[in-house]
Amino acid sequence: MAHASTPNAAAAARHSSIVDPANIDQMILAIIEVRRVKQLHLTEADIRSLCLRCRDVLLQQPMLLELSAPVKICGDLHGQFTDLLRMFDYGGYPPASNYLFLGDYVDRGKQSIETLCLLLAYKVKFPQNFFVLRGNHESAGINRVYGFYDECKRRYTIKLWRTFVDCYNCMPVAAIVDTKIFCCHGGLSPELNNMTQIAKLQRPCEVPDKGLLCDLLWADPDPKIMGWADNDRGVSVTFGADTVGKFVHRFKFDLVCRAHQVVEDGYEFFAKRQLITIFSAPNYCGEFDNAGAMLSVDETLMCSFFVLRPSKKTGLRKVLNK
């Protein structure tokens, strides 16, 4: 007797697994192959297994990461999977290079699942060389509005989306490179008085509406103000160049590295080059003519930039010490 197909059965038919979920190398290859075959050959069980493994790895490492150069630092990706692969094409696929990603892997773009899965898989495979911070879009409430929830529901199930949420509720929120470069997704916080406050933030956790964790993921620099001000986003704060200067002096940092905002060239300095914004999704949402960038920090903490232009004709160019 014929039976009506259920949504779950239809989803299962679309996603036949060609990998052993215990074999992370097979999983990585299957995700990268999406660029060629245009289909993700991972079942919901495969991805769920990946999330659970990555969650364990994340919880074994601190909320405030202490990293060593050399490292390549990337900003927002927002589901632009092909551009993530273009970054790896140029910067080297792990473990050829060490990487730190600053968050906002999902929402808005069309391939948030592939983007997040590849990052999580590399985190499992190379836990000491590959690092992923949490962005403000690694949040259940934001996902429901900006696309990742709908993508998971359409391509798999809501249950899988909840598994992703459980995973990024465990992501670290800040990193320090060789005691000199402070990295987070959003920005500074008036509540941040010492680094142990970040280290002591408990996981798993949701992103609160205010406070230190919220600011690290949501705050923005503002050239028009001094000190602190309310953020036009309706969440968190903005901070002036003077605030950045006081912060780097107090904690003996050379640079604050953050993401969270579209910038035309993929990177933009602020506060006498004491802060840099990195954004790694070129032609963002198909609506902006911005470039995407990756910050490369060498062993001496010298910084250079790989810039990914939105036009294929322009391609990649390297900008040194700008």
Alpha carbon distance 1, 26 (integer Å): 38
In contact, 215 and 188? CB cutoff 8 Å: yes
Catalytic positions: 137
Sequence-ordered strand ranges (E) for the chain = 64-67, 71-74, 99-101, 130-132, 174-177, 181-184, 220-221, 228-230, 237-239, 255-258, 267-270, 275-278, 292-297, 303-308, 316-320
Q: How far does CA 93 lie from the centroid of its chain?
A: 16
Question: Mind giving me the DSSP string for 85-139?
Answer: HHHHHHH-STTSS-EEE-S--SSSSS-HHHHHHHHHHHHHH-TTTEEE---TTSS
